[in-house]
C-alpha cells in the first residue's frame, strides 16, 4: 500500500518514466545501435528511420502541446505502443523483405516518439527540486540506458553461437524479445500521474498547466522560434541525435560482426550511464552559481567532444564503406585489433550522455513551469529529430564517411559557444529559482480558489 505514494513523488515519477524508456526507446536504441536495425543491408532501416525522424520532427515539436492538453500518462502511453509495432515490422521483414511496412511503421513511430518524449521531458525538467536537477537527470539517463545495456545483451547471447563470418541478420527470437519488453513499457506508463498529484519533499508542488487549449499551445510553440535563447539552442538540438547514424551504421555496423555489435552496445549504453552521472553531479555540485556551473559543464563537454571526435577522425582514415581495415568485420576475440575501435565506440556513448544531460539541465534552468518546459522539450526533440532525419537520409544516399564525421564534429563544436550565450542570463543563486516556483504556486492556488 505504501508503494503508490512513493510513486507519486518526483523521484518515483522520474524512475517510472525512466523504466518506460528502458523498455521502449532503450530497446529501440539497442536495435538501432546494431546498424541497419539488425539487418545486414541497412537500406530498409535507413528509409524507415528517415520516415521516423521526419514525423518525429513534426510531432516532437507539437508534443509539448499534446502533453499540456492530455497530461503525461496518456501522452506517454499512446506514444509507447508504436515501439513494439516498429520492431514487429522488422520481424516480418526477415521473411518478406518488403520495405513498405517497415517504412510505414517508422513513420508511425515518429508520431509516437514525439508524444512519449514530450511527456518524458516535462517530467524530467519540471518535477525535480532545483538543487538536484542534475541528479534526477542522471538517474533517468541511467535507468533509460540500462535498456540499451539489456538490449545489447539480447542479440549478443541469441546470436552468440553463429559463425563470426555469418552474414545473416539477427534471428526472429531477437525481435520477439524486443517486442515483449516494449509492451511491458506501455503497461508501466499507466502508473504515471498528473503533475498536480506530485508533491516534492520540501513541500512545494509541481505547477501544472492552467486552462491550456489547442490554439494557445500552437501560438506558444510558434513563439519559441522568436526567442533568441531557443534560436541559439538550434545547433545543439540538431547535433544531439545527428551523430547516431555515423556511430551506429558506420562504426558499429561496418567494423564489427553481428554478435560483437551487441556486446559493443552493452558497453556503449553503460558508458552513457557513467557520462550522465558525471555531468549531472558537476552541474549540481560544482558551484552555488547556476551560471558558473553551466560554464564549467560546457567547457568540460566541449573538451571531451574535441578529443573523441579527433580520435574518430584518425580511426576513419583506416577504412571506407567498401574497404575494411582487416578485410572482414572485427570480432571481440580479435584482441588488440578490436580494442581501439571498441574504446572509441564506448567513448561515443560517454559523450552522448554528457552532451544531452547538459542540454536538459540548461532547459530545466530556464523555467520552473511544467507547461513551458514541456514546450522546450518538444522544441528540443522536434529539431533533434529533423537533424536525425537528414543524417539517416545522407547515409541512405551513401555519403562518404569522412564528410559525415566532419559534419558531426562541426555541428557539435558550433553548439558550445551558442550554449554559452544561452546561459549568460542565468541568475547567480539557486534561491531565485525557488522564489519563482513559490510565486507560480501562489498564482496557481489563487486561480483555483477564485474558481471555487
Q: Please name the residues in contact with 237: beta carbons below 8 A apart, sequence gap of 6 or more.
A: 359, 379, 380, 382, 383, 384, 387
The pLDDT value given to residue 70: 86
For residue 430, what pLDDT is reported? 45
For residues 218 and 68, is the Cβ–Cβ distance under 8 A? no
- Does the domain at 19-194+206-436 match CATH 1.20.1250.20? Answer given as yes
Q: What is the distance between the alpha carbons of residues 412 and 243, in angstroms, rounded to a whole number?
A: 9
Q: What is the pTM of this model?
A: 0.80
Residue 47: predicted pLDDT: 84
Let me know: does 294 contact 365? Beta carbons within 8 Å.
yes
Q: Cβ contacts of residue 202 below 8 Å, gap of 6+?
A: 129
The total number of residues written for the chain in this structure: 452
Looking at residue 304, its pLDDT comes to 97
Output the pLDDT for position 14. 92
- Residue 238, pLDDT score: 94
CA–CA gap between residue 266 and residue 153 (Å, rounded): 6
CB 118 within 8 A of CB 67: yes
pLDDT at position 443, please? 41
* CA 150 vs CA 60, 61, 268, 286, 438: distances in Å: 26, 30, 11, 32, 41
Residue 152 · residue 262 · CB < 8 Å = yes
Residues of the chain scoring pLDDT < 70: 1-5, 34-42, 155, 158-170, 202-212, 286, 427-452
Amino acid at each position: 500500500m505504501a508503494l503508490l505514494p512513493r510513486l507519486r513523488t518526483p523521484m518515483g515519477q522520474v524512475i517510472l518514466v525512466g523504466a518506460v524508456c528502458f523498455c521502449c526507446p532503450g530497446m529501440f536504441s539497442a536495435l538501432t545501435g546494431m546498424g541497419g536495425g539488425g539487418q545486414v543491408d541497412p537500406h530498409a532501416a535507413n528509409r524507415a528511420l528517415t520516415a521516423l525522424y521526419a514525423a518525429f520532427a513534426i510531432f516532437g515539436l507539437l508534443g509539448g502541446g499534446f502533453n499540456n492538453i492530455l497530461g503525461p500518462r496518456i501522452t506517454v502511453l499512446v506514444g509507447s505502443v508504436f515501439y513494439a509495432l516498429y520492431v514487429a515490422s522488422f520481424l516480418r521483414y526477415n521473411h518478406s523483405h518488403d520495405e513498405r511496412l517497415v517504412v510505414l511503421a517508422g513513420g508511425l513511430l515518429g508520431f509516437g516518439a514525439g508524444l512519449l518524449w514530450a511527456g518524458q521531458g516535462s517530467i524530467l525538467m519540471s518535477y525535480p527540486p532545483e538543487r538536484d536537477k542534475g541528479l534526477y537527470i542522471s538517474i533517468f539517463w541511467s535507468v533509460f540506458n540500462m535498456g540499451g545495456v539489456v538490449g545489447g545483451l539480447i542479440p549478443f547471447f541469441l546470436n552468440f553461437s553463429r559463425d563470426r563470418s555469418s552474414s545473416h541478420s539477427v534471428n526472429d527470437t531477437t525481435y520477439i524479445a524486443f517486442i515483449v519488453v516494449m509492451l511491458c513499457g506501455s503497461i508501466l506508463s499507466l502508473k504515471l500521474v498528473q503533475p498536480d498529484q506530485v508533491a516534492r519533499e520540501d513541500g512545494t508542488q509541481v505547477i501544472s498547466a492552467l486552462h491550456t487549449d489547442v490554439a494557445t499551445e500552437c501560438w506558444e510553440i510558434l513563439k519559441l522560434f522568436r526567442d533568441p535563447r531557443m534560436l541559439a539552442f538550434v545547433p545543439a538540438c540538431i547535433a544531439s541525435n545527428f551523430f547516431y547514424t555515423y556511430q551506429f551504421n558506420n562504426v558499429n555496423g561496418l567494423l564489427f560482426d553481428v554478435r560483437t555489435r551487441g556486446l559493443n552496445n552493452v558497453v556503449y549504453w553503460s558508458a552513457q550511464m557513467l557520462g550522465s552521472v558525471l555531468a549531472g553531479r558537476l552541474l549540481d555540485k560544482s558551484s552555488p552559481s547556476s551560471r558558473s556551473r553551466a560554464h564549467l559543464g560546457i567547457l568540460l563537454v566541449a573538451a571531451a567532444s574535441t578529443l573523441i571526435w579527433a580520435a574518430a577522425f584518425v580511426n576513419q582514415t583506416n577504412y571506407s564503406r567498401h574497404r575494411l581495415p582487416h578485410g572482414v568485420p572485427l570480432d571481440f576475440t580479435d584482441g588488440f585489433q578490436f580494442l581501439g575501435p571498441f574504446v572509441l565506440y564506448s567513448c561515443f556513448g560517454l559523450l552522448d550522455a554528457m552532451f544531452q544531460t547538459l542540454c536538459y539541465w540548461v532547459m530545466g534552468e530556464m523555467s520552473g513551469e511544467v507547461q513551458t518546459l514541456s514546450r522546450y522539450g518538444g522544441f528540443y526533440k522536434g529539431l533533434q529529430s529533423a537533424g536525425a532525419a537528414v543524417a539517416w537520409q545522407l547515409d541512405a544516399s551513401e555519403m562518404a564517411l569522412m564528410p559525415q564525421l566532419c559534419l558531426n564534429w562541426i555541428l557539435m563544436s558550433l553548439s558550445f559557444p551558442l550554449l554559452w550565450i544561452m546561459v549568460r542570463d542565468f541568475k547567480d543563486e539557486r534561491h531565485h529559482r525557488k522564489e519563482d516556483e513559490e510565486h507560480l504556486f501562489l498564482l496557481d492556488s489563487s486561480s483555483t480558489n477564485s474558481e471555487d
